[in-house]
């Protein structure tokens, strides 16, 4: 993952014609906030425009409609999340240490990017299959990375050999995303403390005795 | 939890006037199915009536509107789930064994009652605060039960003393409910195998070394 990829992925569509200050990053962030607050179905393009202090018509300089906006929010969510996390899996060292690094980073992402996590978790299913495909593919390859690390951790003797790597990977990713359901930035818990619990509880149960 | 409570909780409201065969249990089940398939916002009372082969007007013999129907679906979900699980916590024995029994039963519930789990997880937030209160209270007391068992397991020396029982309980419940995101009845995995993984991964990480 490089800066070039980031730029490519979050750049607005070619139909954009607006001059003046580029409000594209703000549009994506505000849309993510509203999808998180009111749900995708409960959010209208009028809501997005109002919060931005724009006319609804001006949004069409950037996007062709609400589902187009959702695609861009999800790309941003993926760029900040899955892609960055997957990069951690490529580094050297025992699989158990790679897994710990990924679990900590994933937990931190869910805690700090809760607005994008919400879109990632909930808004997905509102896309037509052909538009959802890129995200399904990216999530599958992230899951396969985790699965591969678990299998390697078993081969290295650090993880319980009786677990099915695929089921364990699904359990682990479900657990990490579920932090979104209760972690609130305003709570007294530090992110560090939450990450500690995520490592203990997400990986502890997989460790060989 | 007794049969009397079950009857009380799932009985239709007093406004019901319909004679003939009692279709109430079927109405609740069909509504739960539709909420799971199309989301609460995406489901209309017309959809519910159509799947039941009833006229929409006939539904008003049973309920006053869609949110009323949701309350009854959630009561049924709670009756089948939280209340039954909470009863397991009251039995005797070491806290670790109680927790294992609850985790297995909770995982089994999510696997077998996926339609009601969906309402439980997603439809909740569509209720006005005063109508949601009974569910918030029941879930809180279930969470406190788990938290109490974790603290007892720590005192009994079976669970890691460095975990915060409240955070660990939130992690555990989030993990168990997250199974809903990927467990499908039609998959090749047996429920038994999923429960084994849920116990290993949900509780294993809390165990004292």
The confidence score (pLDDT) of residue B186 equals 54
Phi, psi dihedral angles at B142 (to 5 degrees): -65, -45
CA distance A103 to A100: 5
CATH of domain B77-206: 1.10.357.10
Q: Is the pLDDT of residue B8 over 80?
A: no
CB distance A121 to A36 below 8 Å: no
A147-150: list long-range contacts, CB under 8 Å, 24+ apart.
A148/A89, A149/A89, A149/A95, A149/A98, A149/A99, A149/A102, A150/A95, A150/A99, A150/A206
Q: Tell me whether A197 touches chain B (CB under 8 Å).
A: yes
Q: How confident is the model at residue B5 (pLDDT cuts 50, 70, 90)?
A: very low
pLDDT tier, B172 (very low <50, low <70, confident <90, very high otherwise)? very high
Looking at residue B85, its pLDDT comes to 86
Whole-Å CA distances, A137 to A1, A67, A85, A92, B59? 16, 19, 15, 25, 42
What pLDDT does residue A4 have?
29
pLDDT of residue B168: 95
Average of pLDDT values for B56-67? 93
Q: Write the pLDDT tens digit of every residue in B97-110.
A: 999 999 999 999 99
- The strand pairing partners of B207, in sequence order, are B159
What's the mean pLDDT in B3-12? Answer: 36
* pLDDT confidence of residue B116: 87
pLDDT tens-digit profile of B112-166? Answer: 888 888 887 777 778 888 888 988 888 899 999 999 999 999 999 999 999 999 9
Which residue is it, tokens 């790309």? A75
Nearest one of B29, B126, B132 to B73, comparing CA atoms = B29
* CA A144/CA A122 separation, integer angstroms: 21
φ and ψ of A207, to 5 deg: -65, 145
> Could you tell me if A140 lies within 8 Å of chain B, comparing CB atoms?
no
DSSP state of B207: B
Report the share of chain B in percent with pLDDT over 70: 88
CA Rg value for chain B: 19
Q: Which residues contact B36 (CB under 8 A, 6 or more apart)?
A: B114, B115, B118, B119
Instruction: Give the pLDDT score at A11.
Output: 47
**CATH classification (class only), A73-206:** mainly alpha
Instruction: pLDDT tens for chain A, 209 residues: list them.
Output: 322 222 334 445 544 444 456 889 999 999 999 998 888 888 999 999 999 999 999 999 999 999 999 999 999 988 888 878 888 877 888 999 999 999 999 999 998 888 888 887 777 778 888 888 988 898 899 999 999 999 999 999 999 999 999 999 999 999 999 998 888 765 667 888 889 999 999 999 899 87
Q: Which residues are CB-neighbours of A168 under 8 A, at least 6 positions away?
A: A147, A150, A206, B197, B201
- pLDDT value for A6: 28
Judge whether B3-73 and B77-206 match in fold: yes
Contacts of A171 in chain B (CB under 8 A): 175, 178-179, 197-198, 201
Cβ neighbours of B147 in A, within 8 Å: none
**Could B204 and A206 be called an inter-chain contact, meaning their C-beta atoms sit closer than 8 Å?**
yes
- B200 Cβ contact partners less than 8 Å away, ≥ 6 residues apart: A160, A163, A205, A206
| B194 touching A (Cβ < 8 Å) | yes
CATH number of B3-73: 1.10.357.10
Residues 6+ apart with CB under 8 A from B144: B169
- pLDDT-based confidence at B21, cuts 50/70/90? low
ipTM of predicted complex = 0.82
pLDDT greater than 60 at residue B52: yes
Tell me what pLDDT residue B167 has: 93
CA pair distance B110, A108, nearest whole angstrom: 27
Counted across chains A and B, CB pairs separated by less than 8 A come out at: 90
Contact A201 B172 (CB under 8 A): yes
pLDDT at residue B91 in the model = 82
Per-domain residue ranges for chain B? 3-73, 77-206
What does the alpha-carbon distance between residue B83 and residue B25 come to, in Å, rounded to a whole number?
18
């Amino acid at each position: 993952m490089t800066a070039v990829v980031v730029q490519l992925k979050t750049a607005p569509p070619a139909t954009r014609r607006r001059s003046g200050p580029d409000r594209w990053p703000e549009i994506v962030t505000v849309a993510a906030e509203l999808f998180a607050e009111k749900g995708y179905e409960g959010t209208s393009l009028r809501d997005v425009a109002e919060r931005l202090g724009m006319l609804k018509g001006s949004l069409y300089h950037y996007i062709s409609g609400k589902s187009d906006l959702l695609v861009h929010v999800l790309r941003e969510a993926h760029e900040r999340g899955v892609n960055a996390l997957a990069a951690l899996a490529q580094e050297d060292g025992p699989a158990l240490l790679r897994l710990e690094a990924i679990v900590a980073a994933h937990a931190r992402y869910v805690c700090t990017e809760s607005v994008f996590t919400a879109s990632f978790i909930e808004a997905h299913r509102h896309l037509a299959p052909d538009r959802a495909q890129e995200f399904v593919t990216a999530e599958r390859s992230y899951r396969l990375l985790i699965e591969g690390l678990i299998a390697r951790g078993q081969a290295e003797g650090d993880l319980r050999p009786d677990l099915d790597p695929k089921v364990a990977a699904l359990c682990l990713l479900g657990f990490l995303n579920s932090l979104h359901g209760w972690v609130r930035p305003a709570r007294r818990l530090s992110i560090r403390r939450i990450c500690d619990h995520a490592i203990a509880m997400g990986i502890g149960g997989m460790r060989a005795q």
